[in-house]
Structure 1
């Protein structure tokens, strides 16, 4: 992040300092990028809970699917000396911000709420910096899903694919029936989502971990990674020409509206289906992406707290952290968002078949050692490495780059500091 260097240079520029804003008593200003239909509905519930506790919610929503725009806005605010009360950040980014000395300790909320005994270790470790809680976990998303319109599948005479040969057979049939086979938005994070899902499906969890978590050079340039790019290259042929720049929720809408047959996307896509009044198993199908049924790539959303001077704001942060982990919020937020609660003690009764499958598969993957952090969604590698990998995958998706050239470029990207 090199934030200290940026701070030194920018503090000399007084223009940015004018954006500093005083936070009023019992107010939380929350920077987030939950702006699509299902997401906005979810965050509105948190606002409602906070206001019922006498805390004013100041919304700082920054659109942009994977949070790049929100990160830029957050950096500007921190540099200007006026961080928001809280911000949606996650994974290794929590550690990066922690190193800058700008995150607030919320152990008081965690101890009172018994977070250590409630949360799976993979979740609690991510929320801590140097052994102290600095962020509250909101949910767990499964990334390696394939979303399917069953009516399109039926019209095409295709079946739900569980292997890559079955996937390409279904894609051929869907295309021949006059539909778009794969709904996709040609944005770097969306391309990377498909890429990591293909890597998991082609090589399995151990390969995924060595390549996209541990960044092993031999694995990144080996035959399995070449096969991953070959498979990704074949998928490109089933994406429509209007994909570049399309937002992810518009790609999901193509599946909802029967224009396209399938979409590779995390389970936030389900929030769009349910917001449109669609029922799982009837109007849409959720299936683990080909070859990934026994594995699980996770994306944990979280709200990190920033150091603020106002004592009322500090109290409001603990109120916010407690509200995020409350059973009431965990249930309603995740029902709207498409994800599953971080708390394993939330009753399953209101959750649909896709969510229950996600809960079961997460538990099974955790036990089997096939639970893996999502590279595309900021859970596995530093933001610098992630950005460099995005560039490689994006170039591959939107040019004639060969698989051999792509693996070499990916190995180089993994060395980014």
Structure 2
């Protein structure tokens, strides 16, 4: 090693010393493992490491997060939780009640979260008035993804109503395409069911059924209609759908083998990863009949109590980084979602994201903004599980009775309350 190299090495090491004195480790449990999601998570890791900390990645595959929650519960019970975990919706309250979450009030005050975030988002992130989680994004669940080239070949028209949706599906099927790309997993079945509920019940009826769990709404004629529509959808998916991951289903639409997919806006991350352009190579439409409604799913990281001061500092820096405009832009452009910051500049976002942000703000003002049941925002995991059981059993039984399914739905929810 010559003198210049030794000097450069010494200067380089010296520049790291101030950081090292305050550097901590932040272990993050998440399930961002598909192409676009992983790129987004890798960016967060890079930004945290640039602050001098060590990122310990704890990724557990599984789109719905069920596997990750099983691992987290095991770790928490043994007194060894990660610094941060992807927890959302009512589950944040459940972890808060256990006394395991730490507060982020200092960071929240410094960055003015109360004014940056919509109230609906801020309230979800708090336990007993304290911020205990940091929101990362806002996903819209009630989207329909379309391959316009496939539609043109089939002579189908992009639908705006349920009637038009089924008419398009008929044309796609007749032309030899998979009409609706789907993955037969409970959370995916639940997503389709939820979007149909928004379309048929409307935002108010949806809220009565799945947030307030009103028995009359759950067993009413409109809910029977929802199940009947779900049964009809079953006829347009292919025989290989069972167990298929959502991103594989998205690939069928991207590759021109299927015409449509009913999925939240994380599906856009797959189109982006494939180099496709919104508005040209694919179209995003509010699920037919649900215009004016916005079923939201918020990804968030809840922060667990840590005893090590340096690791606590790393945890706070993680929260700061997530709320910074730089991360909000890159993460959401890769994930398909929209930023949580109301002041975010959307000019660099694609047509789908700009439409989503516009609809989000309008729905927040009109009552159309409602928490997604299928994605853990509207009710407890017990209620969600009960709904999934009824919906998936119904979806997989061609002879099932829609009216009976509505009664079973109400009974299943009542049993876990």
Task: Report the TM-score range of the alignment, normalised by the length of the smaller protein.
Answer: over 0.9
5+ residue gaps, structure 1: 1-23
Cα pair 1:25 1:310 within 8 Å, conserved: no
Distance 2:59 2:104 in 1: 23
Structure-to-structure mapping, 1:21-100, within 5 angstroms? 26-100=24-98
- The one-character-per-residue Cα deviations of 1:101-159 (angstroms, maximum 9, x if unpaired) are 10011111101111011110001000000000000000000000000000110000010
Structure with bigger gyration radius: 2
Q: Alpha-carbon deviation of 1:413?
A: 1.9
Q: Alpha-carbon deviation of 1:401?
A: 2.1
Distance 1:80 1:401 in 2: 44
- The one-character-per-residue Cα deviations of 1:161-188 (angstroms, maximum 9, x if unpaired) are 0111101110000000000000000000
**3-state DSSP of counterpart to 1:354:** helix
Q: Which residue of 1 aligns with 2:215?
A: 217
Distance 1:78 1:203 in 2: 39
The aligned length equals 394
Distance 1:393 1:281 in 2: 33
Distance 2:123 2:396 in 1: 37
Q: State yes or no: 1:408 paired with 2:414.
A: no
- The one-character-per-residue Cα deviations of 1:29-57 (angstroms, maximum 9, x if unpaired) are 00000000010000011001000000111
Q: Which residue of 2 aligns with 1:228?
A: 226
Q: State yes or no: 1:175 paired with 2:173.
A: yes
Q: Which residue of 2 aligns with 1:127?
A: 125
Cα pair 2:117 2:342 within 8 Å, conserved: yes
Structure-to-structure mapping, 1:142-161, within 5 angstroms? 142-161=140-159
Distance 1:353 1:319 in 2: 32
Q: Which residue of 2 aligns with 1:252?
A: 250
Runs of 4 or more off by more than 3 Å in structure 1? Answer: none
Distance 1:49 1:372 in 2: 32
- The one-character-per-residue Cα deviations of 1:287-313 (angstroms, maximum 9, x if unpaired) are 001101111100000000001111111
Distance 2:211 2:178 in 1: 33
Distance 2:157 2:292 in 1: 20
**3-state DSSP of counterpart to 1:153:** helix
Distance 1:273 1:122 in 2: 29
Taking structure 1 as the reference length, the TM-score comes to 0.94
Q: Which residue of 1 aligns with 2:186?
A: 188
Q: State yes or no: 1:343 paired with 2:341.
A: yes
* Superposition RMSD in Å: 0.9
Structure-to-structure mapping, 1:230-379, within 5 angstroms? 230-379=228-377
Q: Which residue of 2 aligns with 1:101?
A: 99
Q: Alpha-carbon deviation of 1:352?
A: 0.5
**3-state DSSP of counterpart to 1:214:** coil
5+ residue gaps, structure 2: 1-21
**3-state DSSP of counterpart to 2:237:** coil
Distance 1:405 1:100 in 2: 38
Q: Alpha-carbon deviation of 1:25?
A: 5.9
Cα pair 1:327 1:346 within 8 Å, conserved: yes
